[in-house]
Chain A
Amino acid sequence: MQVLARPSNPERTKTLVHHLVAQLSRHIWWDSLLLFVPPAAAAIYILALLFQAAWLSQTAAISTAIIILGLGVFGVLLRRRPLVPTVRKAARMVDQKSGARDHFLTLATIDPASQPAVLWTRLCLQAEGFLNRIELRRDFPYKFKRSTYWSLGASLIAVMLIHLLLPVAPSARYSTTVRLRELAQQMTASPELRSLSKELLAVASKLDDPKISPEEKQALAQDLEQKLKEQQKKEEQKDNRDLLGEAASAASGLEKQQQVASGQDQQKDQQKGGGGIQSNTPQDGQGENKQSQGGSGESKGESTAQSQEKMDQGKSAQPNPKEKGQEKNQPGDAKNNQNQPDPNQPGKDPNKQKAGKTEGGSKDGAGKQQASEEPPPQGGPQADRFYKPGEGKDGLAAKGYVTVQMPEELVADAKGEGRTTKESKNTRGRTQVPVSNVPLPAHVPNAPTEKQQVPIEYRGIIR
């Protein structure tokens, strides 16, 4: 009788399939991770972008990130579970790879105790003959699946699309504080504003401090804005006024950011009685449009978009030095309103006067009046009838009248003399407005600033 040789490496034969199962399980882990991590990372990146742009509050961003991570983990587990190879499947793979005829399948799935020892030993010996044909790392290497490439590609595309399609500022908060610092730097040039600039720098540093809560930051920004406005009113130099106006705008923008960040924006607007409408009626001297969001039923995205719009408005409210006096939302309009067009007033710098005679200034005054006297209807865009002449979408073109000046008056203006018209001589106390072709109410603060010469054919009539 032939004596069977003993298998030289029985353990490896038995455990090979189990090692393969473990290795393939790791591969499934990697596959699942590579499938779910890129989209999760992309989603979190997008969240971070939205958070930086102050479109999302910190709580919302963190909770969404946690949900995304949770979904990712759940997805990994859910996907991995059915894909984990069974011992049978792994044994089949070993058989196919080594060219064995189900030797490893039999070895891996049969209980040796219930089999004749002779046959089992023979099976082990036969299987051992195939062992040198197989190397787990070499024959079953990890390969990136197509799903991984798809996942990675889709995530990259999503991130790129977000960058391309959404006009997200790199960091609104960051840029605002940087702007504050720049303004503070400019203020140091002026001795009167030096102390304020230090305060501005201090506030900017505090705003960058992540330890300070959004509520505190909001209060800081509010205080700063108040101080700046007060200083602006006191300030006599125009450059300084402009600088202060810009700083106030920046502070106002910061305040709104903090409102959004702290999630108080909605409550605040509700307290204001906002009915979910957007009013463009100027409500303060800065000409800023207050928007209400609370209770409007609008989505958060819309409201955040409005906030962004407001911030952008606040930014644009910073006057361009080249266009001073022509900006609608120029700070310091309240003061400019006092310098309403009075061409007969001597001793004024014509350029300064011209700068003071701004449309924005007159509008702001009108807006103030309108807001206090007759609140516009809520719930929709403001009707045309609520606009003052010169306001509205058509602007100056729909004003309906202009103020005209006789050539003599223009000459007198140029010489710095007083009025020469009959009206100016006889009824100086009644009105400062020169003769026009329409009756104007007395002491109109927002009298039209447009001037043109009376046509020749009408000059005789007027005289």
Chain B
Amino acid sequence: MEPQQFQQAFKTLETEVQKVIVGHDDLIRKILIAFFAGGHVLLEGVPGLGKTLLVKSLSQALGMSFKRIQFTPDLMPSDIVGTEVLTEDSGRREFQFKRGPIFAHVVLADEINRATPKTQSAVLEAMEEKQVTVFGDSHILETPFIVLATQNPIELEGTYPLPEAQLDRFFFKLLVTAPAPAELKEILKRTTGTVTGEISKVLPEDGGKLVGEMQQLLRQVMIAPPIEDYVVRLVHGTQPDAVNGGPAKSSVKQYIRYGASPRGAQAIILGAKGQALTEHRVHVSYEDVERVIYPALRHRLILNFQAEAENITTDQVIGEVLKHVPKH
């Protein structure tokens, strides 16, 4: 695939989603980047900001199968991955695997933090291995596969914070913020009138193949060794116990309990590659890294009690790391 084709398809998808979603341009772009990088996205925001609509719109634009799972405290893992059910066919009874909602190209895990950790962990294997195992049988998930999870802020009642292991499996964590007044006005205009935005399918029938090619191209984007080194230094700089944590070590050591994992570095580089492609480049620049480091690392840094007590966010710590880690 040529880079221009990628950019064209990407732009079309972006424009299509923007027909329904007002504002959140960067959010849409990051979700698409994560999709083409083969990652999953965690969307965090208070209820009513259009998270679910965004995901639905995206799946419609992609023209792929879409399933929505509403996570509740009584949701069971089998409700997600599926289960064996006894069926009778021409007088013969047998167990047959009934696929759960996880078997779709785009899965919306709505309010994922409202389910119990047991149910949350059921999504783990699916997200990482892109397969599920039920009664000893493994079942391959659809390709491409993306989980778009939404969650309410942790401090709200009736929520279960996601386990760290599961958090690490999300490629990006994106924050959905309240729309600006102008955007809100546009939202009202589009949703309260008689005419609402219609999303048409952008990708062709063999959309899966095209997405595969786009994912392949994204991985071919060139990255200079100095920029790779920079990413390594950044991720290493988030480790509080690192021997040479760099200049940011003091704030990192003060507020971080666990630093970013290698998955964080992978997410940064793949995200940067996607960012470069969206800007008509075939190589990664330092700016690309700086743009994607926040969504790539903000859910991978585990803050300690002092940070929580002082209302320090992971974004602030990442900002410190960026400020102090030299580019060359």
Contact = CB atoms under 8 A, between A and B. Distances in A.
A119 B226 contact: no
A126 interface: yes
B19 to A, nearest CB: 27
Interface in B305-328: 327-328
Contact of B328 (A92, A115, A120, A126): A92
Contact of A88 (B223, B226, B282, B284): B226
Interface string A109-125: 11000011011101100
A387 to B, nearest CB: 76
Nearest to B280: A126
Contact of B222 (A92, A101, A110): A110
B227 interface: yes
Q: Which of A106, A116, A126 has the most CB of B within 10 A?
A: A106
A50 B292 CA distance: 68
Nearest to A3: B2
A2 interface: yes
Interface residues of B, number: 20
A165 interface: no
A423 to B, nearest CB: 104
B4 interface: yes
A2 to B, nearest CB: 6
A106 B224 contact: yes
Contacts of A120: 222
Contact of A123 (B222, B227, B327, B328): B222
A29 B260 CA distance: 43
A105 B227 CA distance: 9
Contact of A102 (B2, B4, B220, B284): B284
B225 to A, nearest CB: 5
Nearest to B227: A102
A176 B287 CA distance: 76
B286 interface: yes
Contacts of B287: 101
A122 B221 CA distance: 11
Secondary structure of the A side of the interface? helix
B225 A122 contact: no
B227 A122 contact: no
Given A2-B4, A89-B328, A106-B224, A119 B285 contact: no
A101 B285 contact: yes
A79 B226 CA distance: 25
Contacts of B2: 1-2, 118
Contacts of A92: 226, 327-328
Interface string B1-14: 01110000000000
B139 interface: no
Contacts of B130: none
Nearest to A109: B224
A224 B29 CA distance: 102
Contact of A122 (B226, B282, B327): B282
Nearest to B276: A101
Interface residues of A, number: 20
Given A102-B283, A102-B286, A106-B283, A119 B220 contact: yes
Interface in A72-100: 88-89, 92
Contact of B225 (A2, A110, A116): A110
Interface in B262-288: 281-287
Contacts of B227: 102, 105
A110 B328 CA distance: 16
A103 interface: yes
Contact of A106 (B4, B220, B222): B222
Interface in B173-224: 220-224
Q: Which of A105, A116, A118 has the most CB of B within 10 A?
A: A105
A115 B281 contact: no
A316 to B, nearest CB: 68
Contact of A105 (B4, B224, B281, B282): B224
A102 B220 CA distance: 17
A102 B3 contact: no
Contacts of B284: 102, 106
B226 A123 contact: no
A111 to B, nearest CB: 10
Contacts of B328: 88-89, 92
A320 to B, nearest CB: 75
A110 B284 CA distance: 12
A106 B285 CA distance: 8
A103 B227 CA distance: 12
A103 B284 CA distance: 9
Contacts of A88: 226, 328
Nearest to A122: B282
Contacts of B225: 109-110
A115 B287 CA distance: 22
Contacts of A123: 222, 282-283
B224 A122 contact: no
A202 B283 CA distance: 84
Interface in A392-417: none
Contacts of A118: 2-3
Contacts of B221: 119
Nearest to B221: A119
Contacts of A126: 281-282
Given A2-B2, A105-B226, A109-B225, A116 B220 contact: yes
A92 B4 CA distance: 26
A280 B201 CA distance: 115
Contacts of A101: 281, 285, 287
Interface string B217-240: 000111111110000000000000
Nearest to B4: A2
B285 A102 contact: yes
Nearest to B289: A102
9 contacts: A101-B281, A102-B224, A105-B227, A109-B224, A110-B224, A110-B225, A119-B222, A119-B283, A120-B222
Interface of A: 1-2, 88-89, 92, 101-103, 105-106, 109-110, 115-116, 118-120, 122-123, 126
Top 8 A-B pairs ranked by shortest CB distance?
Answer: A102-B285, A106-B283, A101-B285, A119-B282, A106-B224, A109-B224, A88-B226, A122-B282
Given A102-B284, A102-B285, A105-B226, 8 more contacts: A92-B226, A101-B287, A103-B283, A109-B226, A119-B220, A119-B283, A122-B282, A123-B283
